[in-house]
Structure formats: structure tokens, C-alpha cells
Amino acid sequence: MGLCKLLLTLILISASFFYYLTQYTNLIKKYKCKYAVITGSTGGIGKELTSQLIKKMNVITVARNPAELEKIQEQYKDEQFKIVPFVFDFVDDLNTFSDKFDQFLTEKGIDKQEVGMCFSNAGYGDYKPFESYNYIEKAKFVQVNFDAHLAICDYFCKLFLTRKNTKSALVITSSALSHTPGKYFALYHTTKAALSSLGNALYAEYRRKGIDVLVVHPSSVSNTKFYQHKGIKAEGDKTMPVIGQIENSFIAVTPKQVVNRMLTRVGKINQSQVGWAAVSTALFATCSGRNIQGWIWSLFSLNDKLVK
């Protein structure tokens, strides 16, 4: 009888916690802000984020392509809240980000204190043998996929600490691939693992100082430009077998699922796996450790001929 009561209590607590996790956070009440910043706003996840956030607050869309940014601004011109584009290419000198963003806020008449959420989301994949590209290309990849997030965290953690009597949120898009090594995607795994570590460390450091940090780990995501990137294509623009095809496969999640996860979990937990494949990858990584995983991946000869 005692055991039954204990089990029932555990089930009730788990169900209540799950219910709490899946409810949307009232962003305006919690973060008392008028602006959210989204990097990678011209991509699949960024566009979905914009479409959901614009119903609640103004959105500063950060991306490198001015024409694409203008299109997004035009799309939402009749909304109650506005889109304010900021053009920045993360392959440029990241030392300039902070001054350029400050200048942009001043020019647009945006009070820094009104910016209370940031989604550090930009990134791309490059599927090729490690030895086939030079150090400069490697450094550029790391700059966009990790250093740029570091620059964003640096800027927004400092800004958010100055916001008085309110919380702020920093949401980072990592990947299920942060949990596992794999062939031909070495720097993608590396930068995403580093990004997840950074996010988790910042969560620990700032949780009680008013900054909610959340890292999301999606499995593959459908309807994005990620798989159109030339680094994911085989020679002659062929789709890379298996890798290029998982976008719309049974393991994929949608940008909407990723964004829903961000907007329900922010302020509640430090990281979230999006999709069953991401959950399985995280579980397997926890149970097996890196040694076994590396060995397993070394057995596959997937796309060996094509990537050479």
C-alpha cells in the first residue's frame, strides 16, 4: 500500500511538472521588455521565432543579407509591433559588434533597458573531411558557429545585468549533434558541444542574477535553409545521401516545434532536447560516454566516396 502511494505521488508530481513545462511563459510579464533580438532571423528557425514574437513585442532581426531582412520587415509592416533589422555578418570582425549594435540602438531611438530577450541562433553546417579544407576556412566556421555566439552572450549578459527589477532571457540554438561525435562534421559537433557547455555554465552563473539561459538541442529541422548550404551538398550540387535527406525524414522536427520548445521552457530549465531523435542521442551519450560513441561512428563509411 505504501509503495502504491509513493508511486502515485511520483506520477502526480511528474505529470504536474510536465504540464508546467509545456505551458507558454508569459514573456511580457516575466521579462518586462519591448524588444527581442534574434540572430539568424532569415533562416527557418529565425523566421518562425519572428512570426511568434512579433505578436507580443518588437523584434530586432539580425542577419547578413539586407534584402532578406527588408522582405521580413515588409511582411510584418501592418503588425502592432515593429521589425527593426540590424545587418551584421558574423564572419566580420566580432570586436566591432558591440559598438555597432550600440550605435544602431541609439540611431533607432531604442532604450537598451527595453531589450529583454535575445535568441542566439545563427549557424550553418559544413559536411566534409577535416583534412580537405584549410585552417582559414576552419577558423571562419568556428567564428560563425561559436565565436559569434560568444560575442552575443558577452554583449547581452552585460546588458541584462543592468536591467533593474526584472528578469531577462538568453536562448541559444545548439543541436542534438552537440552530444555526439561524427564523421565529416567535426567542427559542427565541436562548436555545438562548446555552445551547449557555454550556455549551461552561464545558466549556473546567472540564474540567481536575473538572466534565464536556455540551450535547445533540436534533431534535424525541416523547412530551413540549413540543408541548402553548399557545405551540405555533394559535388555537382547533389544532395548528400542520408545527411541531405534527413531534413524531411521521420527524425525531423519543424521550426514551429523548436520555437514552441524555446517559448515554453525559457525560465524553467537550462536545456531541452527537441524531437525523439535528440532525446535518444542525449540519452545514448549519457549512458555510453564519448569513447564508445567515437568508436561506433568510426565503423560507418557513410558518404566516404562522395565527400572525397
Ligand X SMILES: NC(=O)c1ccc[n+]([C@@H]2O[C@H](COP(=O)([O-])OP(=O)(O)OC[C@H]3O[C@@H](n4cnc5c(N)ncnc54)[C@H](OP(=O)(O)O)[C@@H]3O)[C@@H](O)[C@H]2O)c1
Give the footprint of ligand X on this chain (CB under 6 A): 40-46, 63-65, 68, 89-91, 121-124, 144, 173, 175, 218, 220-221, 224-226
Q: What gap in Å lies between CA 15 and CA 38, rounded to an integer?
A: 32
210 vs 244, beta carbon nearer ligand X: 244
> Least separation, in Å, of the C-beta of 109 and ligand X?
25
CB atoms closer than 10 angstroms to residue 285: 18
44 vs 85, beta carbon nearer ligand X: 44
**Long-range Cβ contact pairs of 164-167 (< 8 A, separation 24 or more):** 164/113, 166/31, 166/32, 166/33, 166/116, 166/210, 167/30, 167/31, 167/32, 167/116, 167/210, 167/211, 167/212, 167/267
Q: What gap in Å lies between CA 251 and CA 247, rounded to an integer?
A: 8
Residue type, 49: L
33 vs 277, beta carbon nearer ligand X: 277
> Least separation, in Å, of the C-beta of 294 and ligand X?
20
Nearest residue to ligand X, scored by beta-carbon proximity: 43
Closest CA to 170 of 202, 205, 145, 124: 202
φ, ψ for residue 168 (rounded to 5)?
-140, 165
188 vs 206, beta carbon nearer ligand X: 188
> Least separation, in Å, of the C-beta of 38 and ligand X?
9
> Least separation, in Å, of the C-beta of 193 and ligand X?
12
Q: What gap in Å lies between CA 21 and CA 32, rounded to an integer?
A: 21
187 vs 211, beta carbon nearer ligand X: 187
> Least separation, in Å, of the C-beta of 12 and ligand X?
34
